[in-house]
Chain A
Amino acid sequence: SQQGEEDPQALSIQEGENATMNCSYKTSINNLQWYRQNSGRGLVHLILIRSNEREKHSGRLRVTLDTSKKSSSLLITASRAADTASYFCATDAGGAQKLVFGQGTRLTINP
């Protein structure tokens, strides 16, 4: 069964806008990772944030983690058509490096 829940399940925005996706989880974690997946292909690692971190940036990506609320968010700024993909959060709730994924958010960027 999936541990995490992503919200929303689907998001459609115009190119140039910001996209925010949220992830909630149920148990204590050491880290949380965000991945991107294009059209049912392999997962691309985006960011890992540890439980003692609150915010992390990588290019146009910003990830926050609130361990008290057991939630994380992924913000993509100035979205591009190439950002169209499914985005998944994954925690190590299953044990070290045994990832537990949410159902994903399907993001569509309209040109």
Chain B
Amino acid sequence: ETGVTQSPTHLIKTRGQQVTLRCSSQSGHNTVSWYQQALGQGPQFIFQYYREEENGRGNFPPRFSGLQFPNYSSELNVNALELDDSALYLCASSSPEDEQYFGPGTRLTVT
């Protein structure tokens, strides 16, 4: 158990819809990162939040957006869902020693 939780566990959406995924960081961690993992691939960095500000972004379009709250929990929002957005979405909170601790992920299926 890493102390990082994500909700929901599974989600099915229709193409064109919007989705919000949630992440609760491990206590004491003020940095949260989001990753997308397609089937059979390694995770790809979406973006990172540090003290409620976006602190770096990977190669993802603007329809992927996020928020971090004062308690360091976080949301990932995806608008105008596409079939290729089907993936496991992972959030990770970071320790001061650079180790990242991942949540169990949210499996998103877009039909």
Chain A positions near chain B (C-beta within 8 angstroms) = 1-2, 4, 30-31, 33, 35, 40-45, 48, 88, 90, 92, 94-104
Contacts and interface: CB of A to CB of B under 8 A. Distances in A.
Interface in B11-69: 31, 33, 35, 37, 39, 41-45, 48, 56, 58-59
Given A1-B59, A97-B33, 6 more contacts: A45-B2, A45-B100, A45-B102, A88-B42, A97-B98, A99-B100
Contacts of A35: 102
Contacts, number: 75
Given A97-B33, A98-B33, A100-B45, A43 B99 contact: no
Q: How large is the interface on B (under 10, 10 to 19, 20 to 34, 35 or more residues)?
A: 20 to 34
B109 interface: no
B43 A99 contact: yes
B72 interface: no
Interface in B55-111: 56, 58-59, 88, 90, 92, 94, 97-105, 107
B58 A45 contact: no
A42 B44 contact: no
Contact of B100 (A33, A41, A100, A103): A33
9 contacts: A31-B98, A40-B107, A43-B90, A45-B101, A45-B102, A48-B97, A99-B45, A104-B41, A104-B42
